[in-house]
Structure 1
């Protein structure tokens, strides 16, 4: 589908709210102290963390924090 066809279908759907700037203005800011990035991980590593379900990004962050703190303690 083209972008125009998608927009036309969405506009004709009575259950679809408009996605104008007022919708986006009401969204919360991301939590302070965190930053969204793009990172490339080996497939098996990502699969390992995803196996436990939701929260896999938080678990990856915890492992990286543990490594960072260990390096800081070691000097």
Structure 2
């Protein structure tokens, strides 16, 4: 599977996030359509996250979803 297809699959798995690869090759995801409150940030949620590879980004996205559900 090519990298664009993998990123497309990741985007489908996490529709609340916009996912992209920077010109430096790093992966990024930012929340779509909502800004976090200061309290949510204080509780460990992130507006934007980054990762070295697809697997790491997927794990960080899962962690964010779990943290959000726990609130």
Q: TM-score range by the shorter chain?
A: 0.3 to 0.5
From the two aligned structures, give the one with the greater helix fraction: 1
Report the structure, 1 or 2, having the larger strand content. Answer: 2
Query: TM-score if structure 2 supplies the norm length?
Result: 0.35
